Amino acid sequence: MEPRGDLTPLVRIDVGGTWVRIDSDGALRRTPAPSRINHPDVPAPALVDRLLDQLVSAAPDTGRVVVSLGAATDDVTGTVRGSGPLWGDWRMDRDLVGELRRARPGVEWHVFNDVTCGLADFAESVAHESPASVGYLTISSGIGLKIADLGTRTVKVDDDGLQGEVGHLPAVLPLEQAHLGRLPCECGGSGHLASIGSGPGIARVAAALGVGRYSTDWFRDALAAGDEEAGTLLATVTRPVAELLRTIWVTQPWMAVVGIGGGVVEGVGAAYRSALLTHLRDAGGYAAGSPDAWERRVRLLDRPGVDVLRGAQLLAERSLVVTRAQEVVSTP
């Protein structure tokens, strides 16, 4: 949608599984999200209705509202497909943007997937390096990846409007850890990347490895203190993430940098990147890539982390444009 004349006031909203953050003219407030996490007994369609009410009541009568939504979303059409933290395993096909426009027609609404918003913010921060292509990998309650082609300033998606739902790919595990392939995933599957590497996944791996002391606070503090058990746990949960990064570069060598962020990375900090680089350097073989190249490629976004509110605003301003993959390759 092309920008119209009057785009003020601007309201920026971040919908996560736990909180909804609303930034109205620089004043930021936070309310509990109407989510499956906060309301496990409320049916998913009713939770979506509550979210719509919350978004509409936060909107002014005119101006622009940009939303970063923690759900699998078709960023071309604004159709929402589903979200484990918000709505559990319920799969839907709901025109959220259309409903918002009908409820508050004087407002220019923009709704984007939160990983796309994180990508837009990260891409802006590395644009001065003129990379051909950048990625953003989020490791939090789930795992997601989005890649932008900065030559065309596009994010290419498939027919369903999706790209980079990597959390539900099978985790690549060494033979001695094959038993971790039985660990469940929020999607109902098992042995997925998110079964092992996401926030809930790390807790599952800790239990499987017999780390009885595990909590997120213990993990951070123990890593800082050089605790061996914590180091082994971090090495285990980052291994399949490193394999994902290697796959990205083998198939897409034009990728210049990948920013790695999200709640898990922000909590663990610099040790997370060190663990990834150790796996990537240890691979061996002529196709492994040089250590210097991995140092350049893998960026840690722990502090201050990505700003999805800014990312949503950048996408509304078309700093990146989400487009169907086949539309990009069509040439005269």
Please report how close the Cβ of residue 84 comes to Zn ion at its closest, in angstroms. 9
Q: Which is nearer to Zn ion, 174 or 189 (CB)?
A: 189
Piece in contact with Zn ion (CB under 5 A), picked from 99-107, 129-137, 183-191, 239-247: 183-191
For 15-33, what is the HEC assignment?
ECCCEEEEEECCEEEEEEC
CA distance 25 to 13: 12
- Span near Zn ion by CB under 5 A; candidates 3-11, 16-24, 135-143, 177-185: 177-185
User: Is residue 98 a contact residue for Zn ion (CB under 5 A)?
Assistant: no
Question: Contacts for 270-277 with beta carbons within 8 Å, 24 or more apart?
Answer: 270/300, 270/302, 271/223, 271/224, 271/234, 272/139, 272/234, 272/238, 272/300, 272/302, 273/298, 273/300, 275/234, 275/235, 275/238, 276/238, 276/241, 276/242, 276/245
The smaller minimum CB distance to Zn ion, of residues 34 and 70, is found at: 70
Q: How far is the CB of 263 from Zn ion (least distance, A)?
A: 18
Q: Which is nearer to Zn ion, 185 or 308 (CB)?
A: 185
Among 205, 203, 173, 201, residue whose Cα is nearest residue 187: 201
CB atoms within 10 A of CB 290: 9
DSSP secondary structure of 143-173: EEEEEEETTTTEEEE-TTS----GGGSBPP-
Question: Is 322 within 8 Å of 75 (Cβ atoms)?
Answer: yes
Of 105 and 189, nearer to Zn ion (C-beta) is 189
Shortest CB 92 distance to Zn ion, Å: 18
Q: Which is nearer to Zn ion, 146 or 192 (CB)?
A: 192
- Residue 224, H or E segment: helix 216-224
- Taking contact as CB under 5 A, which single stretch among the options 68-76, 181-189, 206-214, 253-261 is the one that binds Zn ion? 181-189
Separation between Cα atoms, residue 307 and residue 28, nearest integer Å: 13
Stretch that binds Zn ion, among 29-37, 161-169, 293-301, 317-325 (CB under 5 A): 161-169
Judged by CB under 5 A, which stretch of 8-16, 82-90, 118-126, 166-174 contacts Zn ion? 166-174
At 302 the three-state DSSP class reads coil
In the bound state with Zn ion, the residue whose beta carbon lies nearer, of 20 and 180, is 180
User: Based on CB atoms, which residue is closest to Zn ion, 192 or 246?
Assistant: 192
Is residue 155 at the binding interface for Zn ion, with CB under 5 A as the rule? no
Q: Which is nearer to Zn ion, 172 or 187 (CB)?
A: 187
156 binds Zn ion (CB under 5 A): no
Binding to Zn ion by CB under 5 A, coded x per residue (else -) over 184-223, reads: -x-x-x--x-------------------------------
Q: How far is the CB of 262 from Zn ion (least distance, A)?
A: 16
Exactly one of 21, 81, 101, 168 binds Zn ion (CB under 5 A); that residue is 168
For residue 228, give the amino acid letter: E
The DSSP code for 176 is G
The minimum distance between CB 240 and Zn ion, in angstroms, equals 12
- Cβ 323 to Zn ion shortest distance, Å: 27
User: Residues 70, 16: contact at Cβ < 8 Å?
Assistant: yes
DSSP assignment of 244-295 equals HHHHHHHH-TTEEEEEEESHHHHHHTHHHHHHHHHHHHTT-STTS--HHHHH
Residue 285 has which token pair? Answer: 């073989």
**How many residues belong to the site for Zn ion (CB under 5 A)?**
5
Could you list the residues that contact Zn ion (CB under 5 A)? Answer: 168, 185, 187, 189, 192
